Amino acid sequence: MNKISRRQQKERLETFCFTIPALILVTVMMYIPFIMSGYYSMTEWNGISKDAVFVGADNFIKLFSSGSNFTETLLFTIKYTLFFIVFSNVIALALAVALTQKFKLANVFRGLFFIPYIMSMTIVGFIWKFIFTKGFEKLFDITGLGFLNFSWLGDPHLAFYSVGFVGVWQALGFYIVLYIAGLQAVPKDVLEAAVVDGATPIQKFRYVTLPLLGPSITTCIFMSLTNGLKVFDIILALTKGGPGTSTYSTTMQIYQEAFTNNNYGMGSAEAIIYFVFVLIATQLVLKLMSKLEVDL
């Protein structure tokens, strides 16, 4: 008994020793800055002066006043996120189904689709900025196709779709991998039973494969939701929020307010509001998707 007790005490001590550094790091890097941000959101501070002026809820009131564009950036972020979720998941699922078929170059195409995901979003943004400007211009001179002569980054309406397309293109490989893993995990005997019952390929996918992909779909939708809500670098590289403020995301607004305008109080208030919004959105999506999952 004494040996068991000493062994348990030793294991608890080891667990404590290995856990404490991680807890300290997380506390210093996340929890303390979050609490400080909550305090500074109720102050007027430029990040340089020694003392911050306490203003209470004034920053939060100004956020939703007529002179603030925070609501506009929030609407753009929601629009971008919905676009990103729908197209990244639909296209990734379609390509995953195609790439799980048996043909010689399947693994090659899987690798090709995954390459953009391992590239930096900033690099991807600069590459596509060159393509939208110089590349399309050269192709228009060669082919004469009208859509190549559009101002893809200069038109406020087209800029949104340009940013959305590049975001989907870059992230597609990651979601393809997740969907391929889900498709390969579907039990073969269930699919064979559906064929024996006379199900067509479309019916087999709609009524058997798709419901059993519930965990993969939930993961992909949640990941695409969070990636869409935190969009920043791709917009910074492509349009810098322009033309005007047509592609200005909430994360860019927070960055601009805090680090460019040196208004840390207002920037912190925007970050707190956005944190609450993201928290509610993610919880609602997770709860909704969990209800739609099917147990085998």
The CATH number that applies at residue 237 is 1.10.3720.10
| Residue range 242-288, pLDDT digits in tens | 888 889 999 999 999 988 888 999 999 999 999 999 999 999 998 88
The confidence band for 3, taking pLDDT boundaries of 50, 70 and 90, is: low
Shared domain check, 129 and 236: yes
Shared domain check, 78 and 17: no
Contact predicate 100/184, CB 8 Å? yes
113 vs 168: CA distance, rounded Å: 12
Q: Could you tell me how many helices (H) and strands (E) the chain has, helices first?
A: 15, 2
Residue 186: Cβ-neighbour burial (10 angstroms; 0-12, 13-18, 19+): middle
State residue 293's pLDDT score. Answer: 67
State residue 4's pLDDT score. Answer: 61
Strand, coil or helix: 248: coil
Shared domain check, 183 and 113: yes
Core vs surface per residue 93-106: b (16+ CB within 10 A) or e: bebbeebeeeeeee
- Give the chain's domain count: 2
Determine the average pLDDT of the residues in 124-148.
Answer: 89
User: Cβ–Cβ contacts within 10 Å for residue 253, how many?
Assistant: 25
Is there a domain that residue 50 lies in? Answer: no
208 vs 223: CA distance, rounded Å: 24
| Residue range 102-114, pLDDT digits in tens | 888 888 888 889 9
Is there a domain that residue 267 lies in? Answer: yes
Shared domain check, 129 and 16: no
Is there a domain that residue 164 lies in? Answer: yes
| Amino acid residing at 75 | L
**Domain housing 134:** 67-292
Shared domain check, 26 and 119: no
29 vs 253: CA distance, rounded Å: 22
User: Cβ–Cβ contacts within 10 Å for residue 284, how many?
Assistant: 11
pTM equals 0.89
